[in-house]
């Protein structure tokens, strides 16, 4: 953890120097909610990726897809900051570079709340509003990052959402389009590290 924090400190305090150490992940794409990317840093920092945002957006490798029954899991480390904005995963991504982009997303934020939402084109729809849950580890304003593990389990009839191994909500699969690209969703002015993003097939 000490080495991990030292690498992050380098990135935050000396972006120009950090750019020489870390590069944007090969094959990954970024789509921001608005065009200004002047405050964006997105680099591969093993294990995983480090992201600091100005505007909100999605981050994804088009080759990472999931269909049918699957489990999408991500380890998210939230760093100190004033913004109470969401970070998490998206799934069911389609036409992500066009005007008809579509995906569903599952976010948490530093005050211990989660959200499920969908996007179709420029329109978004709340599926589950910001809801407090004790499974989410909030960030108390200290200097150290706080890790939460998010998971989306897609079944034939139901989509279940987990944080740190505890189910926080579920939604009928008929309400969400789940087949497509998977990736990360990071909202405005956040500083996060994602150490794991994997798609797992159900056992048995």
Q: DSSP secondary-structure letter at 24?
A: P
CB burial class (10 A; 0-12, 13-18, 19+) of residue 164? middle
Both tokens of residue 117?
């939402």
164 pLDDT more than 70? yes
User: Do residues 176 and 159 touch, judged by C-beta distance below 8 A?
Assistant: yes
Buried b or exposed e, range 138-160, using 16+ CB within 10 angstroms: bbeeeeebbebbbbbbbeeeebe
pLDDT tens digits for 120-156?
999 999 999 999 999 999 998 788 899 999 999 999 9
- What is the domain partition of the chain in residue ranges? 57-200
The pTM is what?
Answer: 0.90
Domain range 57-200, its CATH number among 1.10.15.40, 3.40.50.150, 2.60.120.200, 2.20.25.10 = 2.60.120.200
Q: How far apart are CA 15 and CA 17, in angstroms?
A: 5
For residue 93, name the pLDDT band (cuts at 50, 70, 90): very high
Tokens linked to 151: 């998971």
């Amino acid at each position: 953890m000490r080495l991990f924090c030292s690498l992050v400190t380098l990135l935050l305090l000396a972006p120009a120097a950090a750019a020489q150490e870390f590069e944007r992940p090969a094959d990954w794409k970024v789509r921001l909610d608005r065009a200004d990317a002047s405050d964006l840093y997105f680099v591969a920092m093993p294990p995983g990726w480090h992201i600091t945002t100005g505007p909100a957006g999605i981050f994804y490798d088009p080759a990472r897809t999931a269909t049918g029954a699957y489990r999408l899991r991500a380890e998210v480390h939230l760093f100190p900051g004033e913004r109470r904005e969401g970070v998490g995963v998206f799934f069911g991504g389609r036409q992500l570079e066009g005007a008809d982009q579509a995906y569903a997303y599952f976010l948490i934020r530093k005050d211990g709340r989660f959200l499920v939402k969908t996007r179709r084109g420029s329109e978004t729809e709340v599926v589950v509003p910001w809801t407090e849950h004790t499974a989410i580890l909030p960030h108390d304003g200290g200097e150290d990052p706080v890790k939460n593990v998010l998971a989306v389990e897609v079944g034939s009839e139901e989509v279940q959402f987990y944080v740190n191994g505890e189910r926080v909500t579920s939604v009928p699969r008929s309400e969400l389009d789940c087949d497509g690209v998977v990736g990360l969703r990071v909202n405005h002015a956040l500083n996060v590290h994602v150490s794991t993003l994997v798609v797992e097939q159900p056992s048995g």
